[in-house]
Amino acid sequence: MAKEQAKQQKEAIRQTVDALDGQLRAIAQRIHANPELSFHEHQAQGWLTEPLEEAGFQVEKGIAGLPTSFRATWEGSGSEPTVALLAEYDALPAIGHACGHNLIGTAAVGAALALKEACPELPGKIIVLGTPAEEEGGGKIIMCNEGVFDAIDAVMMVHPQNKTMVLRGALACVDATFTFHGRQAHASSAPEKGISALDAMINAFVAINSLRQFMKEDVRVHGIITKGGDAPNVVPELCEAVFILRAANVEELKTVREKVYRAVRHAAEGVEAAVDITEGLIYAERNNNRALAGMFRDNLEQLGIEVVEPPAKGGIGSSDIGNVGQVTATIHPYIRLGDATTHTPEFCRLAGAEEGMIELNQAAKAMAMTAYDLCTDAEAFTQVRQEFEQWKQERNGGAIHG
Ligand SMILES: [Zn+2]
Ligand SMILES: [Zn+2]
């Protein structure tokens, strides 16, 4: 009986997403045509919240001190669980929506609208969280630190990709700026009066390269020079490099940071220069909730979408969703929209084309169906919670034993 009801309700959800398709396409294409950079997504915030407001969601803009964030809540019956669907909507400099965040944001809105319309009696609470600045700024990390995810039982978002995958990992990471200070002098007539910030920086690159042989396989340390001096006949006084350091998890990342920073300091010291190290936010590794991912996978299969396994090694970056996964049960599955890889002009084209619109429709359906399962299948929800609680205990236990 319950199964039959679930089947009917999910069919109603799918039909409602299809009925909303034209409206959702218009939003996704408008965001795509007007790319806004991290923390500046004002238009996208308006376009995504408007239909939610109209549908009776309670909309708060600018939560967690981030002006372009939002929280749209449908209280439902007020009982457990509270499910959050995450909307990203920031673009990349120069290449626009080459990560397809126009589709991520719109899919979350579409799923929430369909749930409210198709299942007005749904037990549980549905929240669409507008999480700005994924590409640059770690919006979700700030929102985590402000406690936005504390009272949420399960979180999901869907990212477009060149493969449909539910359990892909991601590395912990941090960015670090190294500012080297030397002393200016005429490079020919009085070099003995100078201290070269550039030599300090070059030595730092060499020292970091010397560490690579002794780093774990999944560690990544990659940097660029952002300031390298002003004139070849002046000993450079100020040079700067920006690096990103990545490791399997935050614990491993600590070790990598210590090694790299020590190498950088000694490189500066060796030529009598000084160095300032400033760090960005720490991105945690991804913590996929397997039980929730299994539910999502079942719904993808019900939609006739083929799921592939992520590569056993490599092929991963970092994202602020990792920090959310440290606070509550979280998934970050991917749905294929073509062959191109993210952050390329071709991916940007796909995110605004028919391929993107199909992915959007599929993502909205799969998320709404999975949220429906979470709210109506007590056993499945308990498994999701228990898996997260067990992970937390193991993590805390691990920390105590050092
Ligand atoms: Zn991206
Ligand atoms: Zn992205």
- 29 C-alpha to ligand 1 centroid (Å): 18
pLDDT, position 312: 77
Distance 374 CA to ligand 1 centre (A): 28
- 143-167 mean pLDDT: 97
CA 176–ligand 2 middle distance (angstroms): 21
CA of 53 relative to ligand 2 center, distance in Å: 26
Cα 101 to ligand 2 centroid, rounded to whole Å: 6
Cα of 181 to ligand 2 centre, how many Å? 36
Cα of 22 to ligand 1 centre, how many Å?
A: 26
CA dist 210 and 178 (Å) reads 18
Residue 2 Cα to ligand 1 midpoint, Å, equals 40
Q: Do domains 2-170+286-399 and 172-279 have the same CATH topology?
A: no
- 179-196 per-position pLDDT tens digit: 999 999 999 999 999 999
Instruction: Taking residues 360-368, report their average pLDDT.
Output: 98
Q: What number is the average pLDDT over the span 368-381?
A: 97
Q: Which ligand is nearest to the CA of 93?
A: 1
Neighbours of ion ligand 2 (CB under 5 A): 99
Residue 318 has pLDDT above 60, yes or no: yes
What pLDDT is recorded for position 402? Answer: 38
State the distance from the centre of ligand 2 to the C-alpha of 333, rounded, in angstroms.
12
Higher pLDDT, 202 or 78: 202
Q: How many whole angstroms from 242 Cα to the centroid of ligand 1?
A: 19
pLDDT at 401: 44
- 132 CA distance to ligand 1 middle (Å): 12
Distance 91 CA to ligand 2 centre (A): 9
What does the mean pLDDT of the chain come to? 96
Of the bound ligands, which one is closest to the alpha carbon of residue 140?
2
Measure 29 CA to ligand 2 centroid, in angstroms. 17
Least distant ligand from the CA of 100: 2
pLDDT band at 311 (very low <50, low <70, confident <90, very high): confident
In this prediction, residue 78 has a pLDDT band, given cuts at 50, 70 and 90, of low
- pLDDT score for 400: 47
CA–centroid distance, residue 134 to ligand 2 (Å): 7
The mean per-residue pLDDT over the stretch 361-365 comes to 98
In this prediction, residue 69 carries a pLDDT of 98
How remote is the CA of residue 393 from the centroid of ligand 1, in Å? 32
**Separation of CA 380 and ligand 1 centre (Å):** 31
Q: 187 C-alpha vs ligand 2 centroid, how far in Å?
A: 46
pLDDT band with cut points at 50, 70 and 90 for residue 76: confident
Domain positions in the chain: 2-170+286-399, 172-279
From the CA of 103, the nearest ligand is: 2
What CATH architecture is 172-279? 2-Layer Sandwich (3.30)
Say which ligand is closest to the CA of 343: 1
pLDDT at 1: 61
- pLDDT mean over 203-218: 96
> pLDDT, tens digit, for every residue of 237-253?
999 999 999 999 999 99
Task: Using a pLDDT cut of 90, give the percent of the chain over it.
Answer: 93
Query: What's the CA-to-centroid distance between 135 and ligand 1, angstroms?
Result: 5
Question: What does the pLDDT look like over 267-295, one tens digit per residue?
Answer: 999 999 999 999 999 999 999 999 999 99
- According to CATH, the superfamily of the domain at 2-170+286-399 is Zn peptidases (3.40.630.10)
Ligand 1 center to 244 CA (angstroms): 15
